Amino acid sequence: MKKNNMKWLYIAGGILGITIGFIIYKRMKSNKSIDKKRDFKEGNTITKEGDLIISVPVTKADKYPINYVFGGIDYANPDWMLKQTPQYILSRSIVVFAPYTKSFDSINVDSFLKKNNLQIDSNKRSISGFSAGGLNVQRKFNKDFRTIGLIDPSTKADFLELPFNKNTIMTYNERNWGGNLTYIRELLPKLAKKVSDKSGIGERVDIKHADIPKYFFEKYKDKFI
C-alpha cells in the first residue's frame, strides 16, 4: 500500500476514534448520577406495596442504585428497618424493605418502577439482611451484587462455603446469640473469617443486637449508593 494511502487510513481511523469517544462521553454525561445533579435534595417518599416498603429519593435521576433490605423476627420488621437506615442512603437510592419471611426471588417491584418511571442502575444492586433476614441474603448470595451486607446474621454451617468476595460486609457480635441459638454464636466468628479471607470485611463489634443495623448502615453508607 502506498504511503499516501496509509496516511489517509491513519487519519480516517483517528477521526473515527475521536467521534466514538465523543459519543461515549456525551452519553455518560447525560446519564446523570443523583449526586451530580445541581438540584439534589435530601428526602425520600415512602410507598407500601403489600408487605414491602419502598423508599424512593425525591431527587429525580436517570438511574438509581437499588438496595434490598431484609429485617428479622418480631420488632425488626420493614418499618423498623426503615428507621435504622440513614437519610443519606434513602436520599440517594431506591430501598426495598422486606420481611425475613419473604424470599428474594418472590420480590417483584417491576410494576412499581414502571408505573413511576424509575430506572435502576444494573451495576448498583445491593442486598442486606439483619438477624433472621441474613439467611435470605446467604441463600441468594451472588457476587454480582454491588454490596452484600450481613448484619449480625443468623447463619448455618453450609453457608461457610459460600464464594465470598470483596463486596461482602459482615458486622456481628456473637455474644448476642445464646440459648438454643448457641450454634450461631459458634459459627459467626468462622463466617467472618471466611469473609475476611476472601477480601471482604468481617467486623466484630461489642454492640447490642438491635443497635447493629443503624451502626452498620451509617458506617458503610457509601457502599450502598
Residues of the chain with pLDDT > 90: what percent?
Answer: 82
Please give the sequence-ordered ranges of beta strands (E in DSSP) within the chain, or none if there are none. Answer: 44-49, 52-57, 64-70, 94-98, 120-130, 148-151, 168-172, 201-204
Judge contact between 152 and 95, C-beta under 8 A: no
Question: Cα–Cα distance between 80 and 212 in angstroms, integer?
Answer: 13
- Residue in the structure block whose three cell numbers are 448476642: 176
What's residue 40's pLDDT? 84
Query: Is the pLDDT assigned to residue 38 strictly greater than 90?
Result: no
Query: Is the pLDDT assigned to residue 186 strictly greater than 50?
Result: yes
Which segment of 26-30, 37-41, 184-188 scores lowest on mean pLDDT?
26-30
What pTM was estimated for this model as a whole?
Answer: 0.84
Question: Cα–Cα distance between 110 and 7 in angstroms, integer?
Answer: 53
pLDDT digits (tens, 9 = 90+) for 205-222: 999 999 999 999 999 999
What's residue 4's pLDDT? 55
The residues with which 150 forms a beta bridge, in sequence order, are 129, 170
What's residue 18's pLDDT? 58
Query: Is the pLDDT assigned to residue 74 strictly greater than 70?
Result: yes
